[in-house]
């Protein structure tokens, strides 16, 4: 579900609430969400530890705990991390972390596609996608030059390219469609076909949609909730995503939806012409 802006919002909230808390107990209601190590080992590693920081990288978010362990979450499509100072736990909670002061952190996940790990310092290879992640939008490393370098020679369609985490960390389907709209680039263009002007425009557009997404508290299309269980507001500002059949906010042309790399892709056929040069 969440892309980088949504995970960042959760991270900021949880960092404020969880640092210094001791994990008194853990209740795993769905074993298969624990990808590493086994659920019983996971429990042994986590129980009794104190949280020193909450970190995000791309769409991953984790708790730093004692002895160099990290409790890492990937929320996939419908995962949510909700903190409650009152100790509120809904029936739908999949994993519950209880703290020494009776507050709780619940992991919710309707579709149960998420992934949870407890990784020791030396076990970095367990999640290869974390190590192979490309530069993140808004980072210093993510420059127009970086983008130009990784686009060069790639025949992949630009839409597919943007959401590949090994190239750009954190961008998902919504923000990719929105960035391509702002940059006036058709999603089916090949990555290597972009000229330097378009690359600069796309770089700027990606940074813009991601930073505005964060500013608006994320995009709630259906399931996304922040660390307090509330919706985001950025869905009100989307130009193309989920707007099939509606008028373009710039030119009034009807927004179209096609499938690119297996993902629904929304664009304005006038603002994003395939032959634009």
Partner DNA sequence: ACGAGCACCTGTGTGC
Partner DNA sequence: TGCACACAGGTGCTCG
Among residues 29, 44, 111, 215, the one that binds DNA under rule CB under 7 A: 111
Tell me the C-alpha distance between 193 and 10, whole Å. 36
Tell me the C-alpha distance between 175 and 197, whole Å. 20
User: Residues binding DNA: what is the number (CB under 7 A)?
Assistant: 38
Name, in order, each residue with C-beta under 8 angstroms of 74's C-beta and a sequence gap of 6 or more.
Answer: 59, 60, 114, 115, 116
Which of these segments, 18-26, 123-131, 195-203, 268-276, binds DNA (CB under 7 A)? Answer: 123-131
Cα of first residue to Cα of last residue in the chain, in angstroms, is 34
Confirm whether 3 is a catalytic residue. Answer: yes
Residue that the structure tokens 């006038």 belong to: 270
36 lies in the binding site for DNA (CB under 7 A): no
Q: Which is closer to DNA, CB of 23 or CB of 180?
A: 180
245 lies in the binding site for DNA (CB under 7 A): no
DSSP class of 263: E
256 lies in the binding site for DNA (CB under 7 A): no
CA 205, distance to chain mean position in Å, is 17
Among residues 11, 74, 186, 243, the one that binds DNA under rule CB under 7 A: 74
Q: Contacts by 198-204 with C-beta closer than 8 Å and gap 24+?
A: 199/144, 199/147, 199/148, 199/151, 200/144, 202/147, 202/158, 203/142, 203/143, 203/144, 203/147
CA 66, distance to chain mean position in Å, is 26
Min separation Cβ 235 and DNA, Å = 8
Tell me the C-alpha distance between 246 and 268, whole Å. 10
The closest of 36, 114, 55 to 79, measured between CA atoms, is 114
152 lies in the binding site for DNA (CB under 7 A): no
Over the window 185 to 214, marking each residue x when it contacts DNA by CB under 7 A and - when it does not, the resulting string is ------------------------------
Q: Considering the candidates 11, 45, 59, 201, report the single residue annotated as catalytic.
A: 59
Q: Which is closer to DNA, CB of 105 or CB of 171?
A: 171
Which of these segments, 48-56, 117-125, 137-145, 172-180, binds DNA (CB under 7 A)? Answer: 172-180
Among residues 24, 154, 237, 273, the one that binds DNA under rule CB under 7 A: 154
Tell me the C-alpha distance between 130 and 115, whole Å. 13
145 lies in the binding site for DNA (CB under 7 A): no
Site for DNA in 39-68 (CB under 7 A): 58-59
239 lies in the binding site for DNA (CB under 7 A): no
Among residues 19, 77, 138, 228, the one that binds DNA under rule CB under 7 A: 77
Confirm whether 32 is a catalytic residue. Answer: no
Q: Three-state DSSP class for 193?
A: helix
Catalytic site residues? 2-3, 59, 263
Which residues bind to DNA, rule: CB under 7 A? Answer: 1-3, 6, 32, 58-59, 74, 76-77, 110-113, 127-129, 154-157, 160, 163, 165, 172-174, 218-224, 261-264
């Amino acid at each position: 579900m969440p892309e980088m802006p949504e995970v960042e919002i959760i991270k900021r909230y949880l960092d404020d609430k969880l640092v210094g808390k001791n994990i008194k107990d853990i209740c795993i209601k769905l074993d298969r969400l624990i990808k590493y190590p086994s659920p019983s080992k996971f429990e042994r590693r986590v129980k009794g530890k104190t949280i020193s920081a909450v970190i995000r990288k791309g769409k991953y978010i984790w708790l730093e705990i004692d002895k160099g362990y990290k409790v890492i979450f990937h929320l996939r499509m419908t995962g949510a991390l909700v903190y409650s100072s009152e100790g509120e736990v809904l029936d739908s909670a999949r994993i519950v972390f209880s703290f020494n002061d009776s507050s709780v952190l619940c992991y919710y996940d309707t579709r149960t596609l998420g992934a949870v790990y407890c990784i020791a310092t030396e076990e970095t290879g367990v999640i290869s996608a974390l190590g192979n992640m490309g530069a993140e939008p808004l980072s210093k490393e993510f420059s127009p030059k970086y983008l130009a370098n990784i686009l060069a020679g790639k025949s992949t369609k630009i839409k597919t390219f943007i959401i590949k985490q090994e190239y750009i960390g954190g961008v998902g389907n919504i923000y990719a469609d929105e960035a391509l709209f702002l940059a006036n680039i058709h999603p089916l263009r090949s990555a290597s076909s972009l000229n330097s002007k378009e690359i600069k425009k796309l770089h700027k557009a990606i940074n813009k949609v991601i930073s505005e997404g964060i500013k608006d508290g994320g995009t709630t299309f259906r399931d996304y909730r922040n660390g307090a269980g509330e919706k985001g507001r950025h869905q009100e500002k989307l130009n193309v995503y989920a707007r099939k059949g509606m008028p373009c906010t710039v030119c009034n042309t009807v927004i179209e939806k096609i499938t690119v790399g297996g993902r629904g892709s929304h664009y304005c056929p006038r603002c994003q012409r395939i032959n634009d040069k």
